[in-house]
Every structure is written in C-alpha cells, then in structure tokens.
Amino acid sequence: MTDGTAGNGVAERPMRLSVKKTWKMYIGGAFVRSESGHTLTTGAEAGGAAATGAQSQEVICRGSRKDVRDAVKAALGAQPSWRGKSAYLRGQILYRLAEVMESRREELEERLLRGGAEAKAATREVDTAIDRVVTFAGWSDKYQSLLASSNPVVGPHFGFSVPEPVGVVGIVAPSRPSLLGLVGAVCPVVVSGNTAVVLVSEADPITALTLAECFATSDFPGGVVNLLTGLGAELIEPLVRHKGVRALDLWGVEDERARQLEAFAADSVKRVTRRIYEEIDWYDAAASGLGFIEPFLETKTVWHPMGV
C-alpha cells in the first residue's frame, strides 16, 4: 500500500532499508576512496577475524602506493603548523579526542564486539583507550621538562638541549588490540608535534576507521593523523621508502621482512623503532610512559655566549 496503511486503516510500520556506510580512508583531514578505485571485503582478502558471517562483511578501500604518497604529502603539509602549535594546545586537542571517544564509546565497543571481542574485554579496551588518550594529552607540555637539560659546559657559554619532533612518522599499527594498540601507537607520536601516516590493522580496519571519525571531529587539523587501509604487503614498502618520512614505528614486523625494510629505511637514514605488539602489556601504565614518546624526538643542543 502506498499510503502506508494495511488497507483496513490500521497503520503499519513501513519497510525501511538501512543506509550503509561507505568506509573510506582518512587522509589530510578528509575521508577519501583509494585513488586506485580498488576495494577489499573485510574477512575475505584481508583474511582477518572480522568476517564471521555475511552481514559483518564490509567493503573497505584497498590503499595504493599513490595513496601512501598522498598521505605523506598531507602529513608533511601539516607539519609546520602542528609542531608550531603550543604544547598546551596540542594537549587540549588530544583531550578533545578523549571527549569525543567517550561520547562515541558505544560505537567503538560495538566495533570491537564485531571484531570478535568479548563484551567485558571490549568495555575494558575502550575504557583504557580513552584513558590512554587522556594520559598522552597530559604529556604534551611535560616530556620537555624531563628530557631537556641545561648543560654545565666549561667556558662562557650557556648550553641547553631540548627535544624536538622528528617530522613525519610512518606507523605500521599493531594488529591487536585493534583500538588500544592504535591509540597507544599514534598518540605518543603526534603529541610532540610529529604528524603520522598510519597503516591500520588489516585484521580490524573498521575499528580504526571509526576512530578516524573521532579524529576528524576533535579539532585535529587535517593531515596530522592519516589512516590508510589495505594490504600491508603492498603499502609498507612505499611508506618505508618515502624520503619525506623521517621515522618509522613498525609494530609486528617479523625479522625477515624487517631486514629488508630497515635496509630501505637506511637509504634516507630514518629512525626505526620496531616492536612486537604481543609483548606489550597495553593495559599497564608503562605503555603510556615517556618511553613511547622519546623514540620520535630529536635533541637540539644550543650554545649561547654570556657577557658583552
């Protein structure tokens, strides 16, 4: 019936088709499809745990080399302004991310559940992820006072050393925990003024893209965090070889592959940090410590004369 009643005058709920979301990558502050036009279905090519049934299969972008290039370009473009912002402002922007995540926590939990997490574990992971962002928000104007030094040099000079961000950091995100690992890897990189190009977990890209919507609505300038989906086998190498990337944060890359990637990194003397995500206790405070920030900093030493 076109009038929405069942003929006998009794109103009947009209059938309603749900609107499906197209999952896009997050580059330069915008949600974009892959330049290649290629897609993946989660749980099919990606081979992750997401596909437990036909309904939970989702189509995501299969990022390409050129998407990596675009993301690095966006990250480079965002560099001067992001590192130039006051530490306090960067802290406030991170804290805003925590606020947005808190208000979208049901969606984040739902994503983790679909990814195969137990209810309690999902709640705990979201709780910890939000708190992790809060902790790193607090770090924004404090790591400097712990890592800087006044250098008691001999002679009429005042010497001091201060930490500075390295620049664009390429992150191969931890596969698990998909939300907490991503948050715990990205926040310590960007809090100091770096910008990041992130290859998100192949196993659970949808959680990462849900987090991308949090980034997009939490005062982060475009380009500070860029999230790419796709196949690591295709994307890691262009990321590692890109000359605009100054440091790498490689999670879960096994030794054999790392030998090749780290050799590529040597071509432009990138700073490489390589860690095994299974070995980290993501729920321990140590995972929110200074040690996570420090690898992505340079030290600048200044000598200045005293006296006229």
Residues in the site for other proteins, rule: CB under 8 A?
87-88, 91-92, 95, 131, 134-135, 137-142, 144-146, 158, 285, 288-290, 304-308
> What is the distance in angstroms between the CA of the first residue and the CA of the last residue of the chain?
93
Measured from the CB of residue 95, what is the shortest distance to other proteins in angstroms? 6
- Amino acid, res. 68: V
Measured from the CB of residue 143, what is the shortest distance to other proteins in angstroms? 9
Return the number of the residue (192 or 288) whose C-beta is nearest other proteins. 288
Return the number of the residue (239 or 280) whose C-beta is nearest other proteins. 280
Measured from the CB of residue 234, what is the shortest distance to other proteins in angstroms? 39
Measured from the CB of residue 2, what is the shortest distance to other proteins in angstroms? 43
Number of Cβ within a 10 Å radius of residue 305: 9
Q: Can you tell me the distance from the alpha carbon of 72 to that of 33, in angstroms, rounded to the nearest whole number? A: 16
Residues sharing a CB contact under 8 Å with residue 222, sequence separation 6 or more, in sequence order:
28, 29, 30, 74, 78
Return the number of the residue (55 or 145) whose C-beta is nearest other proteins. 145
List C-alpha distances in Å: 304 to 158, 160, 187, 307: 5, 9, 34, 10
Measured from the CB of residue 16, what is the shortest distance to other proteins in angstroms? 39
- Amino acid, res. 238: P
The 8-class DSSP code of residue 177 comes to: S
Q: Can you tell me the distance from the alpha carbon of 153 to that of 217, in angstroms, rounded to the nearest whole number? A: 47
Return the number of the residue (95 or 251) whose C-beta is nearest other proteins. 95
Return the number of the residue (28 or 138) whose C-beta is nearest other proteins. 138
Measured from the CB of residue 288, what is the shortest distance to other proteins in angstroms? 8
Return the number of the residue (23 or 95) whose C-beta is nearest other proteins. 95
